[in-house]
Structure 1
Amino acid sequence: MYTKQRGITGLETAIILIAFVVVASVFAFTVLSTGVFSSERAKETIFAGLEQTKSSLRPSGSVIAFRGYVGSTEAIFKFSMVVEAVDGAEPIDLTAPYTADGSGTDPDSSVTTNRTSIVYIDDNQILQNVPWSVSFMGDDNGDNMLDEGEKAEIQVWLLNRTTGTAVTANSSVNYMASSTTGLTSSGTLLTPNDQFTVEVQPADGEVLTVRRTLPAALDSVVNLR
């Protein structure tokens, strides 16, 4: 009496083995691809974080404050500070939203597109994107980019001043128009003994923060070392 015997041939075994190998290869490729993609994304995130946190600007010299009068009240109407790029930093766009050309009232132009903004802070107010103007010093290649080795004088405007006469002990200054982001009549003037902070915020890189305290008596020009 014959009994049926069933089994698998060598060809079937080979097919099954190949199927396992193919599936394992696809799975391994997927895992490796995911790992490489995740590593690349992590590297990009790290580099982006470093780019945002590393310093790109540094002060060069003192902060100079200029005194004027709103009526009979003496107050600071402008700051001046010299900045330079940190060695190895990318060029910084210092296209100013205002100009100060010595005619009319400074700042005397409408706001234009600018990538660097300046914030003014004291105990009474925060002024976002305050008016500022810039002039490059020394070795300048003629554009608005602050390159390595260049220096620029940034003038931060809190109030308007007519520039027909030089800064004197009785310089008359006025509040900014309500359409600007400078100090308006609803704000608080910056007067003796007040503390303030100016933040220069470039499009990329760390914010340059400058904190100073005004002396008890103000000269026409005050050197805030």
Structure 2
Amino acid sequence: MRSLIKHDDAFTGLEAAIVLIAFIVVAAVFSYVVLGAGFFTTQKSQEVVHTGVQQASSSMEVIGNVYGVATTASENLAYVQFTVGNTAGGTALDVSKMVVSYLDGATRSPDVQFVDDEDGETLKATLIAASEAMTENPASKDEMGKWGIIEKVNANDNDVLEPGEQFVIGVSTPTTLTANTPFSVNLQPSVGAVFALQKTLPPALHRVNILY
């Protein structure tokens, strides 16, 4: 009787097709994973670039001098006054959302309170009153000082600083700010880098002083 001998010398056409399809599926899945990771990395890089451009274009600058307005007795400053505007190519920013902080050797106020809807003269009186209320370690918002927009130049009635506009800002200072005292006022817009004003009072105070 003839015996049956099994030969495995080669794949059949069906088996070869199955193996080929398996390789194609695995390669397709691997390619999808690699491409997905690449797209994710590219998207994150674009977000970082766009965020950096947005922050750089939304910054502001101080235009002109920084003035220190003293009390009637000229013993200490009541508030500082300066003009801000957009940097070249900058976008509009809401000044009312800006965080203002004050620091000198004796007083630290991390969140000076914004005062809105007051005309220039009324705001100046508010800043003088806030100067007398500021303490070395503020325990309440009323003791942290006040700041606001004294005047708007080439601007409409809102608090959005747009290209071509200028805002005159006033920030109250504590009674501890006397002659030869260095201090810092930090301006943190809602978008953009912190702008720091670091000044030192002159040896003798006048009613209005240019600070360097």
Q: TM-score, normalised by structure 2?
A: 0.75
Structure 2 counterpart of 1:10, from 8, 13, 21: 13
Unaligned runs of 5+ in 1: 96-114, 159-182
Deviation (angstroms), 1:47: 2.9
Distance 2:104 2:166 in 1: 27
Unaligned runs of 5+ in 2: 113-145
Alignment of 1:57-68 (within 5 A): 57-68=60-71
Query: CA contact under 8 A between 1:85 and 1:91: conserved in structure 2?
Result: yes
Aligned position for 1:126: 108
Query: Is 1:144 matched with 2:156?
Result: no
Query: CA contact under 8 A between 2:58 and 2:92: conserved in structure 1?
Result: no
Aligned position for 1:172: none
**Matched AA of 1:146:** L
Structure 2 counterpart of 1:30, from 30, 33, 37: 33
Distance 1:118 1:76 in 2: 18
Write out per-residue CA displacement over residues 128-174 of structure 1, whole angstroms, 9 at most, x where no aligned residue.
1222010443311221100001000000012xxxxxxxxxxxxxxxx
Identity %: 33
**Matched AA of 2:66:** V
Aligned position for 2:192: 205
**Matched AA of 1:80:** Q
Deviation (angstroms), 1:36: 0.8
Do the aligned partners of residues 73 and 137 (structure 1) sit closer, same or farther apart at CA in structure 2, a change above 3 Å counting? closer
Aligned position for 1:103: none
Query: CA contact under 8 A between 1:55 and 1:207: conserved in structure 2?
Result: no
Structure 2 counterpart of 1:221, from 171, 195, 208: 208
Distance 2:105 2:27 in 1: 66
Deviation (angstroms), 1:44: 1.0
Aligned position for 2:177: 190
**Matched AA of 1:85:** N
Aligned position for 1:161: none
Aligned position for 1:89: 90
48-57 or 7-16, which deviates more = 48-57
Distance 1:55 1:198 in 2: 19
Deviation (angstroms), 1:85: 0.6
Aligned position for 1:99: none
Computed over aligned residues only, the root mean square deviation of the Cα atoms, in angstroms, reads 2.1
Distance 1:17 1:212 in 2: 75
Distance 1:139 1:88 in 2: 17
Distance 1:23 1:150 in 2: 61
Query: CA contact under 8 A between 2:80 and 2:171: conserved in structure 1?
Result: yes
